[in-house]
Chain A
Amino acid sequence: MTRILLVDDSDDVRRSVRAVLAGAVPDPAIGEAADAAGALALLAQQRWDVVVLDLSLPDRSGLETLRDIRRLQPALPVVVMSFHGEVEYAAAARAAGAASYIAKGSPAGVIADAITSALSGTAPARS
């Protein structure tokens, strides 16, 4: 079972990503949070194998949230997914400890690759 925490304020996005993950990860157990507070609460409640984190959260900056997660659970890989296309975001996310950075709008395969790579502790085949 692979425990994946999906953090995004959009229900539609979460649903779509879930669909992608269903086909990409064996036996996924997906938890969801719509904001930073929800995400941190879930992180505190149970163990996760990977976090998929949107940088644009309604209650907090995604980067700050990323730093918190990394501080709390340094071994937990975080895949950042953001609508921002600028490389500065990718660089900032990596600097904050993200395992990889996925621009929203990327094909499902890219997302799946990123998550499986994060889970296996290797760099994704595509980013």
Chain B
Amino acid sequence: MKPSSSVHRVLFIEEEGLSQPRLSGILDLSPGTEYVRAGSLREARRLLESESFDVVVADESRLRQVIDSIFTFVGLFSVGGVVLDVNQAPLTASGLRREQIVGHRFIDMPWFAHSATERTRIGEAIASAANGAPARLETWITTTKGLQMCVDAAFAPLRDQNNVITHVIGSGVDITSRKQAENALAGSQARLAEAQRVAHVGSWEWNVADNRVVWSDELFNIYGIDHAQFVANYEGFLLRVHPDDLDHTVAVIRRAVEEVTPFIYDHRIRRPDGSVRMLHTRGEVLPGRDGKAARLVGSCWDVTDRWLATQTLEHTVSTLTATLEATADGVLVGDRDAKVAVLNQRFLALWRLPSDVGPGTDIRHLADIVRDQLTDPDGFVARVAQLYGDPEMEAHDILHFKDGRVYERYSVPQRMGGDICGRVCSFRDVTQREQLLQSLEARRAEAESARRQYETILERVSDGFTALDLSWRYTYVNSGGGRMLGRNAKDLIGKHIWTEFPEGRGQKFHLAYERAMEEQRPLQIREYYPPWNRWFENRIYPSPEGLSIFFTDVSQQVEAQEELRASNEQLRALAARLDAIREEERRGIAREIHDQIGQALTALKLDVGWLRGQLPAGAAAAVDERARSMETLVDQIIETARRVSASLRPVILEDLGLAAAIRSQARDFEQRTGVACDLDLPSDGVPIAPAVALSMYRIVQEALTNVARHARARQVQIGLTVGGDTAVLTVADDGRGVTAEELGRSTSLGIVGIRERALAIGGEVTITGLPGRGTTLSVRVPTGAARTT
């Protein structure tokens, strides 16, 4: 029943033939009002019970009949609330007689005896209607049979033609069953909500036409928002969808709406706190009368936990797969029937198996394929059979291949929940490691053997050998060392060196030990050791653990060397003396030739010339011819005498000095050999002692002889500079260049001679050769006595 503030629906109960104008006379029919016609009492009753009407119009007897026959309670009250009339329905329902009600105040009826509150509500409702305001309420009454009944009661004013309220009309419907059903529904809805809450399932409904969205409480929970935060329309929903899933969501729903088909999809949502949930949504589309989507209803299941678990699982699987492929080991997982369950590429590569070998392959078959690669094929195959025949077995094997490879195999049972479900084998190429181990073992054996040999050798050598630790204590002394130190070698072990030999403190050997230790580099030292009046040679080898020292008494050696040195000195002095004597002899002979023979020849030449001049004009031609040939002969002898004299002794050196002598010599060299000489000499006399000048002259002579003999030079540069007390002579040719081997050869007498001459006058010789670029000799000598030569 609708509130009766305005008349909307009117029910006419008409007998057959009742004319419309008559009805119109009864009521002022107005547009907008719905008139429903009941053609029979039966129909009128059905309509009254199933629909709401504001006014029922019929003639009174007919109305009475209708009213009495309907289940709706109808009563007519005075404005003071006294019951004036009722229909049959309340009487039947309450078990009261009409006279028990009519004439009494309605609120005094036994129905309301149970509750003062209900009586007050009813009284107020009637009073309200009597004052012109219709009232409606649900009230619980107690029937005479003691039953509780819920009545939907309405009270409306009844006016006369002058619009004065004369009565109040009450009506009521037993809604007990509905109420009970409602209660049951409420309970069921609560249980549904509870179920939704427990299952994390929320339900929703979207009314497409007015874009209104309704969510269940659990859906709000799932979205993490309360009702106030939700704009209850489609756009409000989309606002909550995770941006990455928005397009998909819109597409799914659009398609469902367009095609009017059920849909299932997953999408993520974002909660206000930023957390993300994954929802599994099932929806249905309910078409309207036009066949188009009118409403969408569905449920959302919060599958975040499952989604996260799946993601984790996927990640784990991908990690495991990647790990399996990334590992340097070959991995083979077999099931209990010795069939391949999993393997990685590395496994195939290690065993040189084709890439199509995969899950399901019989592992014993694989063993047969690869068996011939191994040095012991039968043993290998038998071991594989053993491994797959004994699920519990754990094994570690080294597999040797014919081509030298060595693999390591770990094989352990695979367990799942405590049960063995297969076998995992990992293979690793340990060829290098095995080789290394073998070589290490060999090295260790070698080292051990070497150590024994060394000890044996150390005991046999005449050298002393001691080892000192970082705190200067002996850790080893060989017997030779003990002898040299004047001790029993074994007694020294563990003793401090400077406690045992305090006299050695501060000696050069002590300092050398400390330096070797500090700098951590080997040192060799040969020194006189005053406390023992002996010479020793030490070879000191430091290590982070201490020092190893070889030592030898070299006193005899040193003495012998000293003797040798002295002997060499004597020899050199002797050689120099011999040279001086020879030079002196040459000088004498040269003088002799010059003074005696030269003079005689000079006179002879002039005399022969004079004789020829004395020959008479008629003298025999033969005599003149003989005289002429005598002259020629004398000329030749003079030339020879000059040459012999000059080669014996460069008189020019004494007469004109070193520069002139070198110049003369160079010119002679040019004429003899054709090798050009480029001279850079002081123009005047140079302040060099005669002995030094002679040596320099001889050095130039020998150097030029070498150039002529060996250098294959085109040009020679000879330079002489004198500065302070030092003269430097250089002879540089542009020939093939002397080699280091030639320089070191003892048979290079020219070079040895040059060195000896330079040494004799306290000079230094440098000879350098560049292949194809010539040889440069440089002699640096002290000028000696400052006498100009």
Flag if A92 contacts B660 (CB, 8 Å). yes
Bound form: Cα–Cα A17–B610 in Å: 10
Closest to A81 in B: B602
Are B600 and A10 in touch, CB under 8 angstroms? Answer: yes
Q: Which residues on the A side are within 8 Å of B786 (C-beta)?
A: none
A9-B595, A85-B642, A92-B660 are known contacts. Are A55 and B655 too (CB-CB below 8 A)?
Answer: yes
Instruction: Tell me if B664 and A88 are in contact (CB < 8 A).
Output: yes
* Nearest B residue (CB) for A16: B606
Q: In terms of DSSP, what is the predominant structure of the interface of chain B? A: helix
Which residues of chain A have C-beta atoms less than 8 A from B598's C-beta?
83, 104
Q: Do the beta carbons of B660 and A16 come within 8 Å of each other? A: no
Q: Is the pair B652, A88 in contact by a Cβ cutoff of 8 Å?
A: yes
**Does A108 lie at the interface of the complex (its beta carbon under 8 Å from any beta carbon of B)?**
yes
Interface 0/1 of A60-95, CB less than 8 Å to B? 010100000000000000000001111111001000
Q: Say which residue of A20, A85, A92, A104 sits within 8 Å of B610 (CB atoms).
A: A20
Contact of A13 among B594, B602, B639, B652 (CB under 8 A): B602
**Considering the complex, which residues of chain B in the window 590-611 have a beta carbon less than 8 Å from any beta carbon of chain A?**
594-595, 598-607, 609-610
Q: Are A16 and B655 in contact (CB under 8 A)?
A: no
A92 contacts across to B, CB distance below 8 A: 655-656, 660
Number of interface residues of B (CB under 8 A): 30
B325 is an interface residue with CB less than 8 A from chain A: no
Check if A107 sits within 8 Å of B609, measured CB to CB: yes
Q: In the assembled complex, which residues on chain A have CB atoms less than 8 Å from the CB atom of B638?
A: 83, 104-105
Shortest CB distance B592–A (Å): 12
**CB-CB < 8 A to B606: which residues of A?**
13, 16-17, 19-20, 108, 111
Contact A63 B603 (CB under 8 A): no
CB distance from A46 to the nearest CB of B (A): 26
Of all chain B residues, the one with the shortest Cβ separation from A18 is B606
At the interface, yes or no: B287 with Cβ under 8 Å from chain A? no
Which of the residues B600, B609, B661 comes within 8 Å of A12, measured between beta carbons?
A: B600
| B651 adjacent to chain A (CB < 8 Å) | yes
Choice from B610, B642, B664 contacting A83 with Cβ under 8 Å: B642
Chain A residues within an 8 Å CB radius of B605: 16, 104-105, 107
**How far is it, in angstroms, between the C-alpha of A89 and the C-alpha of B607 when the chains are bound?**
25
Q: Is the CB of B664 within 8 A of A86?
A: yes
Instruction: Name A63's contact: one of B607, B610, B655 (CB within 8 Å).
Output: B655
Q: Which of B594, B601, B651 contacts A105 (CB 8 A)?
A: B601
Interface size class of chain A, counting residues whose CB lies under 8 Å from the partner chain: 20 to 34
Contacts of B642 in A (CB 8 A): 83-85
Query: How many angstroms between the C-alpha atoms of A84 and B656 in the bound complex?
Result: 12
Q: How far is the CA of A12 from the CA of B610 in the complex (A)?
A: 13
User: Is A23 located at the chain interface by the 8 A CB criterion?
Assistant: yes
Query: C-beta contact mask, A13-28 vs B, less than 8 Å → 1, else 0?
Result: 1011101100100000
Report how far A41 CA is from B656 CA in the complex, Å.
26
Q: Report A91 CB to chain B, min CB distance, Å.
A: 8
Question: Is A56 engaged at the interface, CB distance under 8 Å to the other chain?
Answer: yes
Q: Which chain A residue shows the least CB distance to B643? A: A85
When distances are taken between beta carbons in the complex, the residues of chain B under 8 Å from A86 are: 646, 652, 664
Chain A residue with Cβ nearest B596: A10
Within 8 A of A (CB), among B48-96: none
With A104-B638, A105-B635, A108-B609 in contact, do A10 and B655 touch (Cβ < 8 Å)? no
B residues 650-676 touching A (CB-CB < 8 Å): 651-652, 655-656, 660-661, 663-664, 667
Contact A83 B660 (CB under 8 A): no
Bound Cα distance from A23 to B660, whole angstroms: 37
Complex contacts, B660 vs chain A, CB 8 Å: 88, 92
Q: Inside 8 A of A15's CB, which chain B residues have their CB? A: 603
- Assembly CA distance A13 to B638 (angstroms): 14
Cα A24 to Cα B520 in complex, Å, equals: 93
B residues 630-649 in Cβ contact with A at 8 Å: 634-635, 638-639, 642, 646
A93-127 vs B, Cβ < 8 Å mask (1 yes, 0 no): 00000000000110110010000000000000000
Residue of B nearest to A8 (CB): B599
Which of B602, B656, B664 is in CB contact (< 8 Å) with A104?
Answer: B602
A111 — which chain B residues lie within 8 A by C-beta? Answer: 606
- In the assembled complex, the Cα of A42 lies from the Cα of B635 at a distance in Å of 33
Distance in angstroms from A54 CB to nearest chain B CB is 9
Write out the residue numbers on chain A whose beta carbons fall within 8 Å of the beta carbon of B609: 20, 107-108
Chain B residues near A85 (CB-CB < 8 A):
639, 642
Within 8 A of B (CB), among A33-73: 55-56, 61, 63
B613 CB within 8 Å of chain A:
yes
Known contacts A88-B664, A89-B655, A92-B660; A56 and B602 CB within 8 A of each other: no
| A85-B642, A108-B609, A108-B610 as given contacts; A13 in contact with B603, CB under 8 Å | yes
Considering the chains assembled together, what is the distance between the CA atoms of A28 and B661 in angstroms?
Answer: 38
A56 touches B594 (CB 8 A): yes
Contacts of B595 in A (CB 8 A): 9-10, 56
| B634–A12 CB distance below 8 A | no
Which of A9, A19, A84, A89 is most buried by chain B, counting CB atoms within 10 A of its CB? A84
CB closest chain-B residue, reference A55: B655
- Bound CA–CA A4/B606 (angstroms): 18
User: A105 near B634 (CB under 8 angstroms)?
Assistant: yes
CB of A70, distance to nearest CB on chain B (Å): 17
Residues of A within 8 A of B594 (CB): 56, 83
Q: Which residue of B lies closest to A17 (CB)?
A: B606
Shortest Cβ gap from B363 to chain A (Å): 108
Q: Cβ of A16: which chain B residues have Cβ within 8 Å of it?
A: 602-603, 605-607, 610
* Inter-chain contacts of A17 with B (CB < 8 A): 606
A30 to chain B, nearest CB (A): 14
Give CA–CA (A4, B271) in the complex, Å: 144
B613 and A83 form a contact (CB under 8 A): no
B602 and A61 within 8 A (CB): no
- Nearest CB of chain A from residue B418's CB, rounded to whole Å: 119
Q: How far is it, in angstroms, between the C-alpha of A86 and the C-alpha of B663 when the chains are bound?
A: 10
A88 contacts which chain B residues (CB < 8 A)?
652, 656, 660-661, 663-664
What residues of chain B lie closer than 8 Å to A13, measured between beta carbons? Answer: 599, 602-603, 606
B123 to chain A, nearest CB (A): 170
Chain A residues near B601 (CB-CB < 8 A): 104-105
Contacts of B651 in A (CB 8 A): 84
Where the two chains meet, the residues of B that have a C-beta atom closer than 8 Å to any C-beta of A are 594-595, 598-607, 609-610, 613, 634-635, 638-639, 642, 646, 651-652, 655-656, 660-661, 663-664, 667
The interface of chain A, by Cβ under 8 A from chain B, is 8-10, 12-13, 15-17, 19-20, 23, 55-56, 61, 63, 83-89, 92, 104-105, 107-108, 111
Q: A56-B595, A105-B638 are in contact. List 4 more A-B contacts (CB 8 A).
A: A12-B599, A89-B655, A89-B656, A105-B639
Instruction: For the complex of A and B, list the 9 residue pairs with the smallest distance between their C-beta atoms, beginning with the closest.
Output: A10-B599, A12-B603, A16-B606, A104-B602, A105-B638, A83-B598, A16-B603, A88-B660, A108-B609
8 A-B contacts (beta carbon < 8 Å): A10-B603, A16-B602, A16-B610, A19-B606, A85-B642, A87-B667, A89-B656, A104-B599
